[in-house]
A and B are shown apart, each in its own frame.
Chain A
Amino acid sequence: MSDKKPTQDWAHDWQALQKQYWNAWQDVTRNATGAAPDPATPWHEGLEQWSRLFADSGKQNETLDRLLAGAKGYMALMQSMIAAAGNKTGGMDPKAWTDAMRQGFSMPGVDALLHGNPLAKMLRDIGGPGAQGFDQLSANFAPFLQQAKSESLSWLGVPAFGYAREHQEHYQKMAAAFVEFQDAVNRYNALILKSSQRSFEIFENKLGERDEPGRQIDSPRALYDLWVDAAEEAYAEIALSDEFRAVYGDVVNAQMRVRSHVQAEVERIGTDLGMPTRTELNSVHKRLHELRRAHKNGSDERVAELEREVAALRGEVATLKRARSMPANVVAHPKHKAVKAAKGRK
């Protein structure tokens, strides 16, 4: 790290950079939207403004959403690292840089719940057009759960009896399944937090290995790439553990149990209203596939049988043709008669 410049000069340069930065954004956004970004919320607001320029494009929006999310995170890190470098007149040790990196995940614009937990943020950001995780799947049945919760919380643990016994039992099971699901999600989140913490440890170790001349890092991008390596390594360590396998399975299985309870409830309502249900449609599809298979197999066998019959008939026709084309004296020759007789015995 170069440390020849006094600290106050860094502050000046930083302000100059911000100015250039805003000029760049303002040029673009003013022309396109007639509005300038608000300099009170640096960096992130500029990126937001930029993304709004594409609001009507519809074409590449999925990629732009992902680009924006990535750029925001990266800019937050960059800002943190540059500020750390600028405020430090001496060299920084790996721990100080790791702290600066950690700080980068707690910048304005980053969800407070995800502070210090970059892997949780990455996993959450994956959800979007074209990629829907278990979070999004569970959002689909959330309205039903709200109703179930409101109806069943007071019933939980109370023995079901009377006219609405089955209904009450069903809601109790659904609520219990949801509690299990939440518990599994909490255990999953705890493991992701653990992998985030581990990523900083690995990052610090990796930085420690870069002390020697020739191996030092000379740009924020290279520093970021090193952090990505550390984060992926930490995540892989956790994700390949037996504990993660069990917890991941629990999250999926618990969510499927909640979902199946919700489906059963929707089907019950559908049946009450005389509407066709998923189960009924599945039965039809299943029968159709079975019929189709039976038909195909049957027709395959019939075709094979016909092919054998045609081959046999062709053979007979060929034999007859050969016999007919032979000269009469050959046919009449006793030796040939004997051959024909022998063939006939076969």
Chain B
Amino acid sequence: MGPLRIDPLKAMDEALKFNQRLAASFKTLRSLDEVDYGASAKEEIYREDKLVLYRFKGKDKPSAKVPILIVYALVNRPYMVDLQDDRSLVKNLLAMGEDVYLIDWGYPDQSDRYLTLDDYINGYIDRCVDAVAHRHKLGKINLLGICQGGAFSLCYAATHRDKVKNLITMVTPVDFHTPDNMLSHWTRGMDVDLFIDTLGNVPADLMNWCYLTLKPVRLNQQKYIGLVDILDNKAELENFLRMEKWIFDSPDQAGEAFRQFIKDFYQANKLVKGGLTIGDKDVSLKDVTMPILNIFAEQDHLVPPSASRPLKQLAGTKDYTELAFKGGHIGIYVSGRAQREVPGAIHDWLAKRA
């Protein structure tokens, strides 16, 4: 019998159509403008060095009394949370009455090489939290940390309990030594001191390359074969190109912060094993006592669910909720399912803890 039932005529037709689509795409591709991003209006409310703190503006005034501050990762740009009109976590949260702020870290250059995790967490994040809290005349606000920004938020919440009312972590690594974590596996053979002493800041292009090598065939070939299927659809093509723009629009990483992050989180796994110190503050997840909503993606190849789930056992809170999203690290923001499930889950969870 054999494993294949390919009709050669159909196969040839498939090959021909593949080429015809590719050939015909010339017109569509030429007609595209530079893709843009951002669905929601926003205003700058605080600025420091290259960091800008934004407040998003919805159509109506927010009904929530306590605002959310989004702390994004240092890798990649934060506009993923507000990519386009029909793919925006921020827009959906605003529509539900939430008041949403976001830290944009900017693009570090060599003058930022000596920024430490202390500068980022006890400095920048703390001052942004103060700026938002002051504006609302509140003692505590809600924090939403994403990926590496989630790890930062955990550290911040553990050491500034008096300033965080509720903590939401999205695709956040906690246990960096799970067997399926390829990125972590690779970093453990690296001499990160030599790496940073030599490179200074870590080039964004090198970071991108590392991420692409996690799944070299899927991310570097199969994805582009799939692109041919939508080459005649301008809207779909623009969506694809917007994602591409985001993937390759990455900031360099400030050297010292990167050094500490790799050593303490990836190599020594101190969030789990203990002994983590940021600046002059000891960090223990047992001190994260406010309510936590931990959202992770079941098909996440960058932060596997097994890396996020241990938060349940490690955090000191008695009010812990978990949401397993059916999708990947990026799909959790941009997929249709994400638009339907994630903002509503956050809003409902916060409403019960207002």
Contact with B along A202-220 (1 / 0, CB 8 A): 0000011111010011111
B10 to chain A: closest residue by CB: A219
For B208, what are the chain A residues with a Cβ–Cβ distance below 8 Å? 130-132
Q: By the criterion CB–CB under 8 Å, are B32 and A60 in contact?
A: yes
A245 at the interface (CB under 8 A from B): yes
Q: By the criterion CB–CB under 8 Å, are B2 and A123 in contact?
A: no
For B110, what are the chain A residues with a Cβ–Cβ distance below 8 Å? 281, 285
Q: By the criterion CB–CB under 8 Å, are B189 and A126 in contact?
A: no
Interface residues on A, range: 35 or more
Q: By the criterion CB–CB under 8 Å, are B191 and A249 in contact?
A: yes
B34 at the interface (CB under 8 A from A): yes
A58 to chain B: closest residue by CB: B34
Q: By the criterion CB–CB under 8 Å, are A27 and B23 in contact?
A: yes
In Å, the complex CA distance between A87 and B257 comes to 59
Most buried by B among A64, A75, A285: A285
In Å, the complex CA distance between A27 and B216 comes to 34
In Å, the complex CA distance between A127 and B240 comes to 20
B64 at the interface (CB under 8 A from A): no
Report the minimum CB–CB distance from B313 to chain A (whole Å): 24
Which of A18-26, A266-274, A308-316 contacts the other chain?
A18-26
Assuming the contacts A53-B26, A131-B248, asked whether A59 and B32 have C-beta atoms less than 8 A apart, the reply is yes
B194-248 contacts to A (CB < 8 Å) = 194-195, 197-200, 203, 205-206, 208-210, 212-225, 227-228, 240-241, 244, 247-248
Contact with A along B5-34 (1 / 0, CB 8 A): 111111110111011101110100110111
For B182, what are the chain A residues with a Cβ–Cβ distance below 8 Å? 236, 239-240
Q: By the criterion CB–CB under 8 Å, are B14 and A220 in contact?
A: yes
B219 to chain A: closest residue by CB: A126
Assuming the contacts A75-B15, A133-B206, A235-B216, asked whether A32 and B3 have C-beta atoms less than 8 A apart, the reply is no
A73-90 contacts to B (CB < 8 Å) = 73-75, 78-79, 81-82, 85-86
Contact of B217 among A75, A94, A122, A213 (CB under 8 A): A122
A99 at the interface (CB under 8 A from B): no
Report the minimum CB–CB distance from A334 to chain B (whole Å): 43
Report the minimum CB–CB distance from B205 to chain A (whole Å): 4
A85 to chain B: closest residue by CB: B8
A170 at the interface (CB under 8 A from B): no
For A53, what are the chain B residues with a Cβ–Cβ distance below 8 Å? 26
For B7, what are the chain A residues with a Cβ–Cβ distance below 8 Å? 2, 218
For A97, what are the chain B residues with a Cβ–Cβ distance below 8 Å? 3-4
A46 at the interface (CB under 8 A from B): yes
Q: By the criterion CB–CB under 8 Å, are A74 and B4 in contact?
A: no
A248 at the interface (CB under 8 A from B): yes
Assuming the contacts A24-B20, A85-B8, asked whether A256 and B15 have C-beta atoms less than 8 A apart, the reply is no
Report the minimum CB–CB distance from B337 to chain A (whole Å): 22
B13 to chain A: closest residue by CB: A17
Chain A contact residues, CB within 8 Å of chain B: 1-2, 5, 10, 13-14, 17, 20-21, 24-25, 27-28, 32, 46-47, 50, 53-54, 57, 59-60, 62-64, 66-67, 69-71, 73-75, 78-79, 81-82, 85-86, 91-94, 97, 118-119, 122-123, 125-127, 129-134, 136-137, 207-211, 213, 216-221, 223-225, 228, 231-232, 235-236, 239-240, 244-250, 252-253, 256-257, 259-260, 263, 278, 281-282, 285-286, 288-290, 293, 296
A-B contact pairs, 25 of them (CB 8 A): A1-B5, A1-B6, A13-B12, A24-B23, A25-B19, A53-B26, A59-B33, A60-B32, A63-B224, A70-B220, A70-B221, A70-B222, A74-B221, A75-B19, A78-B15, A126-B213, A126-B216, A224-B222, A240-B185, A249-B188, A249-B190, A249-B191, A252-B191, A253-B191, A263-B198
Besides A54-B29, A288-B111, 11 more A-B contacts (Cβ < 8 Å) are A62-B248, A66-B224, A70-B224, A131-B248, A132-B208, A216-B2, A244-B186, A249-B189, A253-B191, A259-B199, A263-B198
